[in-house]
Amino acid sequence: MLMRQTMDKARVATRHRNKLGDFTADSRVLLLIGMALVVGGASAGTAWVLLKLIALVTDLVWFGQFSVKNLVIANTTRGALWMLLAPAAGGLVIGLMARFGSEKIRGHGIPEAIEAILLGGSRMQPKVAVLKPLSSAISIGSGGPFGAEGPIIMTGGAVGSLFAQCFHLTAAERKTLLVAGAAAGMTAIFGTPIAAVLLAVELLLFEWKPRSFLPVVAAAIVSEVCRPFLFGSGPLFPFAEHPDMPLWGMATAIGVGIVAGLQSGLMTRLLYAAEDLFDHLPLHWMWWPMLGGLAVGAGGLADPRALGVGYDVIADLLSGHAAAHEVTRMLLVKSAIWLVALASGTSGGVLAPLLILGGSLGWLEGQMLPGGPSFWALIGMAAMMGGTMRSPLTGVMFAIELTGNIEMLPILLAATGAAFAVTVLLLKRSILTEKIARRGQHITREYSIDQFELLRVADVMVKEVDTLPVAMPVDDAVAFFSGEDVRRHKSYPVVTADGRLAGMVSRSDVLRWRTEGAHQAMTLDDLVSDTSAVSAYPDDVLGRVADIMVSADLGRIPVVDRDDHRVVGLIARKDLLRIRSLVNAEERDRSAYLMRERVA
C-alpha cells in the first residue's frame, strides 16, 4: 500500500510538468488580485483608524480633549512632571498589553511581519490585528518618538493574513496577501504606492514573481485611490527646490550618503547595545517599556518636539523653517530617546524617526554644501532610510513620492546607493533582521537565479548506467542484491532487450519477494512494470526532477529518451548535490581570460 501511494504521488508530480516559461504564474493570480483589491481597501481604512487613534490618545493625554485633531505635543501646557511621567505611563500600559495580550506587539512591526512570512506560514493571530494598532497609538500618543508606518505595515499585514486564512490558500498565497496589506497600509499613510511596492519586493516578499508582485500592486493602487477620501491628496511634504548641481555635486551626494551609512551603522549598533543592557536588568521585560518611557519623558524636557511622530519636524527640515541649534538639539535628543524607547520593547515604527535623524544630519551638512540645507536634508532622509533598512530603491522612490520632486532621482540614487554600500560592508545584519537573528533565525536577502531551474537533467546525469535485464530470474536478482559488493546500489532500472525502461527494482523489492516466496521460475519481467518506474527526460529542468524525487521519496531516477523510452542515463541525489559545488565555484574561482589569452 505504501509503495502504491508513493508511486501515485510521483505520477502526480510527473503529470504536472508544465511547459517551461519565464514565469510560473497561472490564472490563479487573477483570484489573488481580486482578493488583494479587498485587502488594499481594508488596509487603507485600518491606516486611517490608526492615525485617528494616535490623534485621540495625543489629544487626551497632552491637551485633555476628546478629539482627533492633529495637535502637536510641543504645544501642550502640561507641566514638567507630566512631561516626564506621561510617556512612562504609556509604556506601562504597553508592557501589560504585551504580557497579558500578545508579545507580538513589541517592537516596530517589520521584523515581526518578516517572521510571520518566513517562519509562521504567513499566519497572524486576530488579536495582533487589534492590539498592535492600539498599543502603537498609546505609545506614540503618550509621547513615544516613533512613526506609525511600522505598526501599520504589521497591522495591514495582519489584515491580509486574516483575510487569506478565511480561504483555502497555500502559505505562499497567504504571504502574497499579507504583504499586499502591508504595502497598502504604507501607501495610505504616505501616499507612496511605488515605494510601498518596492519595499515589498526588497524587504518582505523574498521573491520576484508575478504571483506576488501583481496582487501587491493591486492593493497599493486601491489604497492610493482611497487615500484622497481618507487623508487628502498631494505629496505629504511638498518640496519645490530644484538646485542646479554641477558634476561634482554627484560626488558630494555620494559623500552625504557615506555619512548617512555611517550614521545608520552607529544607530544600529547602539540600538542593540541598549537592548543588551535591558536584557541584563533584574526586572521582567513587562516593565522595560515604562523605563524607556521615563527616558522619553526626560528627552521631552530637553526638546518637546522630539516626542511623537514628528511629521512637523520633517516638514520644517524640507521647507527651510529651522535653525541650526534646533536641528542639532533635535538630532541628539531624538536619537537618544528613540534608541532607548525602541530597545525597551515598546510599540512603534522606525521609518519616521529615520527620516528625522537622516534629514537632520543632512540639513546640518547642507550648511557647508551648495544647494541649501533643505536639499541635503531630503538627500539625508533617503540615504538614511535606504541604508538602514537595506532597501535603497525604496528609499529613492519614497523621497520622490513623498515630495513630488522627480528631478532629484539621479542624486538620490547616488546618495542612497552609497549609504547602502556602507551599511552592507560594515554590518552583517540590518536594524530589521538583527532582531530576528538574535532569536536564532538566519535570513538572507539576496535574490539570485536558482540553478535547479536553469540546468537540465542532461547536464548532470550519469550516462553509463548499470541496468538489470527483464529476463533475469528472481533467484538471480535475490543473489545480486544479497552479494557482498559494497558498491551495490539500492535500486536499478530494469530494461528490455532493446534498452527500453521496463521498471525499477530495489533491494526492498527483492527482500519482499524472498519473504513472500516468489516462484523460482519467475523473472523480473513478471514482477515489475513500467508503472513502477518514475522517470525523467534529459531536457527536464533539475528543479522538477528534485520535486519528483521528494514526492516519491526516491534516491535514483532513470532518465529515458522522450521518443522511444530507452534508458539514456540516471540521476541520483548526489548528482543534485553537485549543483551546490557549481554555484560555489562561480562565486569562488577567479580567472582573467583576456590576460591569459594575451600571455599565451
Q: What is 188-250 written as a DSSP string? A: HHH--HHHHHHHIIIIIS-S--HHHHHHHHHHHHHHHHHHHHHT-SS-SS---------THHH
Bridge-based pairing of strands 556-560 and 468-469 is unpaired
CATH code of the domain containing 521: 3.10.580.10
Residue 399 and residue 405: Cα distance in Å, rounded?
A: 8
Extract the C-alpha cell encoding 135.
498599543
Q: Which residue type sits at 492?
A: Y
Q: Which residue type sits at 541?
A: V
- Note the pLDDT of residue 588: 76
Does residue 409 lie within any of the structural domains?
A: yes
Does residue 342 lie within any of the structural domains?
A: yes
Residues 319 and 425 in one domain: yes
- Note the pLDDT of residue 475: 78
- Virtual torsion, Cα 319, 322, 324, 329, nearest 10 deg: -120
> 515-558 pLDDT, tens per residue?
776 556 678 877 776 555 788 898 888 888 888 888 888 888 89
Query: At a CB cut-off of 8 Å and minimum separation 6, what does 455 contact?
Result: 541, 542, 579
C-alpha angle 463-467-469 in degrees, rounded to nearest 5: 140
Does residue 132 lie within any of the structural domains?
A: yes
Does residue 280 lie within any of the structural domains?
A: yes
Residues 72 and 163 in one domain: yes
> 224-242 pLDDT, tens per residue?
999 999 888 777 787 766 6
Residues 186 and 146 in one domain: yes
Which of 437, 462, 493 represents a domain boundary (last residue)? 437
Which of 181, 204, 230 represents a domain boundary (last residue)? 230
State how far the alpha carbon of 32 is from the alpha carbons of 153, 159, 219, 288, 432, in Å. Answer: 19, 15, 10, 41, 28
Residues 211 and 257 in one domain: no
Extract the C-alpha cell encoding 592.
582573467
Q: What is 490-519 written as a DSSP string? A: SEEEEE-TTSBEEEEEEHHHHHHHHHHT--
Query: Is 180 in a helix, a strand, or coil?
Result: helix
Residue 23 and residue 361: Cα distance in Å, rounded?
A: 44
Question: Structural domain tally of the chain?
Answer: 3
Phi and psi dihedrals of 591, rounded to 5?
Answer: -145, 145
Closest CA to 568 of 559, 556, 579: 559
Which of 230, 258, 293 represents a domain boundary (last residue)? 230
- Note the pLDDT of residue 2: 38
Per the rule left: phi > 0, alpha: psi between -120 and 50, beta: everything else, 253 is: alpha
State how far the alpha carbon of 573 is from the alpha carbons of 2, 151, 253, 542, in Å. Answer: 21, 45, 51, 11
Does residue 345 lie within any of the structural domains?
A: yes
Does residue 81 lie within any of the structural domains?
A: yes
Residues 65 and 211 in one domain: yes
Residues 194 and 58 in one domain: yes
Residue 138 belongs to domain spanning: 28-230
- Note the pLDDT of residue 486: 55
Residues 464 and 379 in one domain: no
pLDDT average per 10 residues of sequence, the chain (600 residues) = 45 52 81 95 92 92 89 87 93 91 77 74 79 87 84 85 90 90 90 92 86 94 93 77 69 94 93 90 92 93 90 87 90 94 86 91 91 90 92 92 84 94 90 77 76 84 86 81 70 86 82 69 73 79 85 85 88 82 73 60
Residues 379 and 407 in one domain: yes
Query: Is 570 in a helix, a strand, or coil?
Result: strand
CATH code of the domain containing 125: 1.10.3080.10
Query: Is 560 in a helix, a strand, or coil?
Result: strand
- Note the pLDDT of residue 409: 87
Residues 432 and 457 in one domain: no
- Note the pLDDT of residue 9: 47
Residue that is written with C-alpha cell 521519496 in the block: 553
What angle do the packed helices 28-63 and 80-100 form, to 10 degrees? 140
Does residue 242 lie within any of the structural domains?
A: no
State how far the alpha carbon of 378 is from the alpha carbons of 23, 383, 412, in Å. Answer: 38, 9, 8
Residues 470 and 533 in one domain: yes
Query: Is 564 in a helix, a strand, or coil?
Result: coil
pTM of the predicted protein model: 0.82
Q: What is 371-419 written as a DSSP string? A: T-HHHHHHHHHHHHHHHHTT-HHHHHHHHHHHHT-GGGHHHHHHHHHHH
Residues 461 and 433 in one domain: no
Residues 296 and 350 in one domain: yes
What is the Cα Rg of the chain in Å? Answer: 30
Bridge-based pairing of strands 468-469 and 491-495 is parallel
Does residue 217 lie within any of the structural domains?
A: yes
Question: For residues 355 and 146, is the Cβ–Cβ distance under 8 A?
Answer: no
State how far the alpha carbon of 574 is from the alpha carbons of 318, 461, 462, in Å. Answer: 59, 10, 11
- Note the pLDDT of residue 5: 46
